[in-house]
Structure 1
Amino acid sequence: MRPKRRVVRSSRVQQKKKLKLKRRSLFTLAIFVLVIIGVSLLSRIDALTVSNISIEGNDVIETSVLKNEITSIISGSHIILFPKKSSFFLPARKIKRDLLSEHTRIETITLSRSNFQSIELSITERKGEYLWCGDFIEEDATAETCYYVDAQGTIFAEAPYFSGPIFFKFYTNPDETTEGDLLGSKVLPSELFTQILSMKDFLTNVNIKTQAVSVTEDRLYELFISSNEDSLMQSPKILFNSDNNFEAIFNNLGSALQTEPFATDYKDDLKDLLYIDLRFDNKVLYKFES
């Protein structure tokens, strides 16, 4: 009979342990629920809710537009319980990500909290340094639709029509990295973009002002020299390609500009110049209208 008593006693001990574990689990769950409810109620207190939005640095994009978009982003709640406009649960990353996605003119955003009820956004807008005007040159410049390009080669906003070479123009097939969306894409890969600007700056330093560059499908670069011609296609141009050694190009052209008879011909008969060809190693080919 003693073994049976031990079995019964062991069964009762196990039942008590299970009951104790169940009560402990229920107690823990109750504490967790109370904490969640408490945090939810706390996050709804007006003193801890963002109600003031200040924005600085936006010169073109209207402040009211940005505030309305931010207000829309922070409306609603996280999983019903936690309001997004609570200072504790403010979706700062989403605010920055959505604004950058919606406004390609915005280059950087810094978001900070001055207190529990206020957030401050400091915005840097892209500046138009150049124009992108399509992947080929229109015979009639007024038919072009051009876009502003920033110093890093990013296309970010449509530009009005400018008469005359106010901005240096790019005619390229842009690197569309945003699923076919032109805004936010690059006029050229970064390395090539930098090389083109280096070439432009070098020419400026030797008193050759350029107004546009065109890149053909076979990667031929046509850098157009500023002239009095009405049509860009009639302006003299400098030819090179992406495989050229740019340092060698600079040296060759610099030497040619100081060597007769090209030096005098270029100075006196620029209006008759058709092209300067730099595509061949250690050679500078050129042609004037006869």
Structure 2
Amino acid sequence: MINSISTKPSRLKDKRRKLLRKKITIVFLLCLVLLISLSLISRSKGLLIKDFEINGNNITKSEDILKVVNSKISGNYLFLFSKKNILIYPRSEIKASVLDSFKRISNIKIEQGESQLITLSIEEREGEYLWCNYFDERETDECYFVAKDGYIFSEAPYFSGDIFFRFYSYLGDNPVGKNIIESEKFKRLMFFKNNLLKLSINPHLFFIRGDGDYEFLFNNTSFNRWEAPKIIFKTEDDFEEIYKKLEMVLRTDPLSLNFQEKLSSLLYIDLRYDGKVPFKFK
């Protein structure tokens, strides 16, 4: 008896494999053609950004902003699709890079205009205060502009006198991009400062001591800046409660009588303790 093995199933499998390979090859080629076509379309002049319009910037130079923007739209995605394409340009990257490069800029709005024009609307921070470096128990001339939320954003020129309210502390070699203290706490602190005027106290300087406690020094032209009368309080103190405590002290003898006259000989009022408020005259 002669045995034989059928080769038909094997041939059928080979045909199926070949057919599958052809299909895969065709799909691959179609995808490749599609990618190349989309790549070419993404580079067509009708879809490329023609220009940028920048407005709202008073201090930051437009050409400096453009350098950052152009660095983000140069090149291609995956070596195929142009980053200058008005439909797929890296809007989020541009915004993040501009904000990171220019600390004076607080916000940027990017909009698509007509004729492939992109508009960048800039909002800049304004200098409300000065922060000055203080370390090794000495003041330096190194001062920076501070926004209303306590954010340090730019080096400041030298100012004589008290044109700006000043903050002194030590924040390292490069304070730009840092907050003097946490933003919400800073706003409460400034509210406290402004309320001091109701008590006939005009602070001109805020000092964060080495131990972390705070000092407000009063404005008095007869004194050296650091020899002026001051109030001292803790970092963790509630500013509203501190204000009430100070108000009570100033209504009590001996400070209640002719406070403005006594101010010239006052050294400090210390509000850091519960149940007592030490103060000292010269």
TM-score by structure 1 length?
A: 0.89
Q: How far is 1:279 from its partner?
A: 1.2
Does the C-alpha gap of structure 1 residues 151 and 274 become closer, same or farther in structure 2, counting only changes over 3 Å? same
Report the counterpart of residue 5 of structure 2 in structure 1: 4
Could you tell me which residue of structure 1 aligns to residue 168 of structure 2?
171
Q: Is the 8 A contact 2:166 2:206 kept in 1?
A: yes
Q: Are 1:136 and 1:214, in contact at CA under 8 Å, matched by a contact in 2?
A: no
Question: Which residue in the other structure is 1:27 paired with?
Answer: 26
Alpha-carbon distance in 2 for matches of 1:2, 1:116: 80
Q: Which residue of 2 aligns with 1:106?
A: 105
Match of 2:267, SS state, is strand
Alignment of 1:1-290 (within 5 A): 4-5=5-6, 8-115=7-114, 117-136=116-135, 143-174=140-171, 181-190=174-183, 192-229=185-222, 231-289=224-282
The alpha carbon displacement at 1:198 in A equals 3.2
Aligned partners of 2:161 and 2:205: how far apart in 1?
Answer: 12
Query: Hey, what's the Cα distance between the residues in 2 that align with 1:68 and 1:271?
Result: 55
Percent identity of equivalent pairs? 34
Structure 1 Cα separation of the partners of residues 131 and 226 of structure 2? 16
Aligned CA-pair RMSD: 2.2
**3-state SS in 2 of match to 1:119:** strand
Tell me by how many angstroms 1:217 deviates.
Answer: 1.8
Distance 1:52 1:13, change over 3 A: same
| Alpha-carbon contact 1:128-1:149 (below 8 Å) kept | yes
Q: Secondary structure at the match of 2:126?
A: coil
Alpha-carbon offset, residue 89 of structure 1: 2.8
Mapped partners of 2:174, 2:227: distance in 1: 32
**CA distances 1:114-156 after superposition (whole Å, capped 9, x unpaired):** 24711111111111111110134987x7x51100111221111
Q: Which moved more, 1:95-104 or 1:72-81?
A: 72-81
TM-aligned CA deviation for residue 213 of structure 1: 1.1
SS at match of 1:88: coil
The alignment partner of 1:4 has SS state of: coil
**How far, CA to CA, are the matches of 1:138 and 1:163 in structure 2?**
21
